[in-house]
Amino acid sequence: MTMDNSGGAKSGEDKNRGIIARLLDGDPAALARAISIIERNNPASKDILTAIQPHVGKALVVGFTGPPGVGKSTLVNAYIGELRRRQKKVGVVAVDPSSPLSGGAVLGDRIRMSEHISDSGVFIRSLASRGHLGGLSPMTAHVADLMGASGFDIVILETVGTGQSEVEMTEIADVKIVISAPGFGDDVQAIKAGILEIGEILVVNKADLPLAEHTIGQLKAMLALRTPTDWTVPVLATTALDGKGVIDLADAIDRKAAHNAQAFNQRAPIQRDPEWRLRQILADAAGKRIETYVRHTESARLKALLHALQDGSIDIDAAVDDVIDALHEDVLNDANA
């Protein structure tokens, strides 16, 4: 299925250049189109991703997650409002799960964010997880990069807390917010699901409920058991529907970002280390190359390696060495071919 069918004289590269230039210029239409291209893994993605490499890591990525019903979207909506008051341009990636049966999805996070629809300083994109087991679309990180390249200061990543996706959020987000709410069935359930591990800021929403203090107390107690790091995880109370506590949340996010930046010796508090993100991209790509080789190649060499692993005549580290060796030879062969 071809993406562009304008019938004009533009070459593929020219077309991509058009989108890329407009994307870097902050044109929302180009950003929207680029996101679609990335989602489809269209051949043009490569050009686009390469073009934005210099801009990777500029935007602060703030991840929000939590179980359904805690008021995530409402809180994100309030946070967007606060960011706009602080004159920040905001991109939002809202991810909802695709149906495992049909592959379709209802993407409804926008409902709670409708007040920002006409604000040109806010760009919201709804993504479906598209079969990715973790809940996060594999392209999510790239989408965040695109938004950053397009000039947004903050990219909010909103996902449903399904356990796995929180783990993935750690790969992408600079600041990780985990939201819970009191009296929500079992308060401790969400905590037990392990999301506490990744939360750098914990929020108890619907703080006007009677059990709020109890939940806050429980979370603080759990935190006390964690191995201390140089970042003290705050537990914040919000009432998103009224906007209460959102200023404190925004301040806490800024503090965490500054904390990250300090770790990388940056001056500007909102800027993160671009190198870190590039390492991520590189590691992902390299990992995919290795994975493809190991899982899908039918070469004699690989078969022999697998036999050797099976009968224990080689350990796993040595096996990895062999894999890298084999790939290295392939690279040399390709270069000479």
Q: Name the residue nearer to another protein (CB basis): 42 or 280.
A: 42
Q: Name the residue nearer to another protein (CB basis): 89 or 125.
A: 125
User: Closest separation between CB of residue 255 and another protein, Å?
Assistant: 29
User: Closest separation between CB of residue 158 and another protein, Å?
Assistant: 13
- Integer Cα distance of 209 and 220 in angstroms: 18
Burial of 327 (0-12, 13-18, 19+ CB in 10 A): middle
Asked if 45 and 76 touch (Cβ cutoff 8 Å), the reply is no
Q: How crowded is the C-beta side of 109, counted as CA atoms within 13 Å?
A: 26
Cα-Cα end-to-end distance for the chain: 31
User: Closest separation between CB of residue 205 and another protein, Å?
Assistant: 10
Q: Name the residue nearer to another protein (CB basis): 106 or 282.
A: 106
Q: Name the residue nearer to another protein (CB basis): 286 or 304.
A: 286
User: Closest separation between CB of residue 230 and another protein, Å?
Assistant: 37
User: Closest separation between CB of residue 261 and another protein, Å?
Assistant: 30
User: Closest separation between CB of residue 41 and another protein, Å?
Assistant: 5
Q: Name the residue nearer to another protein (CB basis): 209 or 314.
A: 209
CA distances (Å), origin 228, targets 90, 128, 233, 258: 32, 36, 9, 19
State the residues that interact with another protein by CB under 8 A. Answer: 1-6, 8, 10, 15, 18-19, 22, 28-30, 32-33, 35-36, 39-43, 45-46, 68-69, 71, 98-99, 101-112, 114-115, 117-118, 123-126, 128, 130, 183-184, 206, 209, 241-242
Name the helix (H) or strand (E) containing 201.
Answer: strand 201-204
User: Closest separation between CB of residue 12 and another protein, Å?
Assistant: 10
Question: What's the gap between Cα 177 and its chain centre?
Answer: 12
Q: Name the residue nearer to another protein (CB basis): 21 or 331.
A: 21
Asked if 323 and 294 touch (Cβ cutoff 8 Å), the reply is yes
User: Closest separation between CB of residue 103 and another protein, Å?
Assistant: 4
Residue of 236, 90, 88, 257 lying closest to 158 (CA atoms): 90
Q: Name the residue nearer to another protein (CB basis): 246 or 253.
A: 246
Name the helix (H) or strand (E) containing 266.
Answer: none
Q: Name the residue nearer to another protein (CB basis): 41 or 170.
A: 41
Q: How many CB atoms lie within 10 A of CB 307?
A: 11
Within 8 A by CB and 6+ apart from 204, the residues are 179, 180, 181, 182, 212, 215, 216, 219, 235, 236, 237, 238
- Integer Cα distance of 311 and 296 in angstroms: 21
